[in-house]
């Protein structure tokens, strides 16, 4: 039977193997590296020479300092996602439903930072939040404070810039879904006597759930492993998952521990992502928010 279907496959288009390069690329540069990382996590170097199988890396990560790092990243991911959602949804709603002639301009203005280099944006905030930067300078000249506030290299700066950079990732999927919504459904709801917030909760919000889902997953997964922003704006003292992984590979040059930590933290990520997935599934199956 396999031979039959294979021969049918080949008879159809002789050059079908030309589709293979793309697949090979993915397998070579995505799948195999992940497998390699997975395998490495179980290896250990002894006496600088021999390799042996070991779970010692994993074991060592159950200490509080590592769990604290993972928790810190989970917290970063969650709060970032939550705030981006709370800010992003009304913004998307406003752009789709309330803005008239300015919609395209505002959309363009929203997308522009999205397409700008992350480092440029991080640097911009550096500029603003520095000890003698714009923010402090203006506050001091207004007489609100007498001493400059230390805003950089704090969790505050990390969270602020995370929100700044990730906001478009949340807004765009929601915008896209709301834009494609059949407006006649809202008209039907209004016609049947619902007030605008009822139309919103009963019709618009449930139907936009898939956009919310996309945004939440995009933001959460990426911000959990975020490297650049904590590295630049967090100061060197506190580690997040992204910066610790980088540290293992580039600074302490310990790929085995690094691989192990990567797998370890990805496990947590998968666990939380799965919980999110179940939550969304439940919300969708019970007919959305009442």
Partner 1 sequence: MPNIKLENITKSYKDEVIVHNFNLTIPSGKFFALLGPSGSGKTTLLRLIAGFEKPDKGDIYLGDKRITDEPINERRVNTVFQHYALFPHLNVFDNVAYGLTVKKIPKDAIEKKVMKMLKVVGLEKHRNKSISQLSGGQQQRVALARAIVNEPQVLLLDEPLAALDLKLRERMLIELIDLQDQLGTTFVYVTHDQFEALTVADYMAIMNTDGEIEQVGTPKEIYEFPVSSFVAEFVGTTNIMKGTIEKSGDTYVLKTEKLGSLEIVTPDKKWAVKGAHVLMSLRPEKIEISKKKLDGFSNVLKGTVEAIVYYGRSTQYSVRVKNGSLVHVFEQNDEHFPKETIDYDDTVYLHWQKNNVVLLKK
Partner 2 sequence: MRGISRYALPLFTLCIYVFLYVPIVVLILFSFNRSAYPYTWGGFSLHWYRELFQSTDLLHALYNSLIVACVSMVLSILLAVLFVFFRPKNKFNNLLPLFYGGLAAPEVVLAVGLLTLFYFLMVPLGLTTIIAGHTLVGLGYTIPIIQSRFEELDTRYTEASMDLGASQFQTLWRVIVPLLYPALIASGLLVFIVSLDDFVIAFFTSGAATQTLPMYIFSMIRSGATPVVNALSVFLLVISSLVVMMFSWLQISKADMV
Q: What is the binding site for partner 1 (CB under 8 A)? A: 8, 11-12, 14
110 in contact with partner 2 (CB under 8 A): yes
Span of 49-57, 64-72, 248-256, 274-282 interacting with partner 2 by CB under 8 A:
248-256
Indicate which single residue of 159, 175, 239, 264 sits in contact with partner 2 (rule: CB under 8 A): 175
Pick out residues in 251-290 that bind partner 2 (CB under 8 A).
255, 258-259, 262, 266, 269
Least distance to partner 2, CB of residue 187, Å: 15
Indicate which single residue of 68, 71, 123, 145 sits in contact with partner 2 (rule: CB under 8 A): 123
Least distance to partner 1, CB of residue 18, Å: 16
Among partner 1, partner 2, none, partner that 230 touches (CB below 5 to 8 angstroms by kind)? none
Pick out residues in 182-221 that bind partner 2 (CB under 8 A).
196, 214, 217-218, 221
Among partner 2, partner 1, none, partner that 289 touches (CB below 5 to 8 angstroms by kind)? none
Among partner 2, partner 1, none, partner that 11 touches (CB below 5 to 8 angstroms by kind)? partner 1
2 in contact with partner 2 (CB under 8 A): no
Least distance to partner 2, CB of residue 210, Å: 12
Among partner 1, partner 2, none, partner that 89 touches (CB below 5 to 8 angstroms by kind)? none
**What are the DSSP calls for the chain, one per residue?**
-HHHHHHHHHHH-TTGGGGHHHHHHHIIIIIHHHHHHHHHTTEEEETTTEEEE--HHHHHTTSHHHHHHHHHHHHHHHHHHHHHHHHHHHHHHIIIII--TTHHHHHHHHHHHHHS-HHHHHHHHHHHHSTTSHHHHHHHHTTS-SS----TTSHHHHHHHHHHHHHHHHHHHHHHHHHHS-HHHHHHHHHTT--HHHHIIIIIHHHTHHHHHHHHHHHHHHHHT--HHHHHHS-SSS--HHHHHHIIIIIS--HHHHHHHHHHHHHHHHHHHHHHHHHHHHHHHTTS--
62 in contact with partner 2 (CB under 8 A): no
């Amino acid at each position: 039977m396999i031979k039959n279907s294979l021969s049918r496959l080949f008879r159809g288009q002789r050059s079908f193997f030309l589709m293979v390069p793309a697949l090979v690329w993915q397998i070579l540069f995505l799948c195999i590296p992940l497998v390699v990382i997975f395998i490495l996590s179980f290896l250990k170097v002894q006496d600088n020479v021999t390799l042996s199988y070991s779970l010692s890396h994993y074991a060592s990560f159950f200490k509080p300092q590592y769990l604290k790092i993972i928790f810190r990243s989970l917290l970063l991911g969650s709060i970032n996602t939550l705030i981006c959602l709370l800010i992003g949804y009304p913004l998307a709603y406003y752009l789709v439903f309330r803005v008239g002639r300015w919609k395209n301009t505002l959309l363009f203005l929203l997308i522009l930072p999205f397409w700008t280099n992350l480092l440029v944006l991080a640097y911009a905030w550096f500029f603003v939040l520095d000890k003698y930067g714009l923010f402090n300078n203006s506050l001091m000249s207004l007489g609100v404070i007498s001493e400059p506030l230390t805003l950089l290299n704090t969790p505050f700066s990390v969270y602020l810039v995370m929100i700044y950079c990730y906001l478009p990732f949340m807004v765009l999927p929601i915008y896209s879904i709301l834009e494609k919504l059949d407006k006649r459904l809202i008209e039907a709801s209004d016609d049947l006597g619902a007030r605008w917030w009822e139309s919103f909760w009963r019709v618009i919000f449930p139907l936009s759930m898939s956009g919310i889902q996309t945004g939440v997953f995009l933001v959460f997964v990426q911000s959990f492993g975020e490297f650049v922003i904590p590295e630049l704006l967090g100061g060197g003292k506190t580690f997040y998952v992204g910066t610790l992984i980088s540290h293992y590979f580039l600074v302490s040059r310990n790929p085995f521990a690094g691989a192990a930590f990567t797998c370890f933290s990805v496990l947590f990520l998968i666990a939380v992502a799965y919980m999110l997935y179940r939550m969304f599934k439940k919300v969708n199956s019970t007919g959305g928010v009442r």
